[in-house]
Amino acid sequence: MEKLKVNSDICIGCGACAATYPDIFMFNDEGTAEVIEDQQVQPEDIVEEATGICPVGAISSENEEN
């Protein structure tokens, strides 16, 4: 299991992540995506696919233990 996160300094608000995984990503008041708090930890295959969706590389992951 890995923990997903979005770098809001890089996110361009394209919506691809929230369109593909509406249960995991949402938009905040600044118009950038963030990971819904109780959905941050996901299986590695989901994490891999979700990080690959972002056109600017704003989605990353870290080991759950961190």
Q: Rule CB under 6 A: which residues touch ligand SF4?
A: 6, 11-17, 32-33, 53-54, 56, 58-59
Q: Which is nearer to ligand SF4, 23 or 65 (CB)?
A: 23
How many other C-beta atoms lie within 10 A of the C-beta of residue 42?
A: 20
The least distance separating ligand SF4 from the CB of residue 63, rounded to whole angstroms, comes to: 20
Q: Which three-class secondary structure string do you get for 43-55?
A: CHHHHHHHHHHCC
Q: Which residues contact residue 62 at a Cβ distance below 8 angstroms, ignoring those fewer than 6 apart?
A: 2, 3, 5
The least distance separating ligand SF4 from the CB of residue 32, rounded to whole angstroms, comes to: 6
Q: Which is nearer to ligand SF4, 59 or 65 (CB)?
A: 59
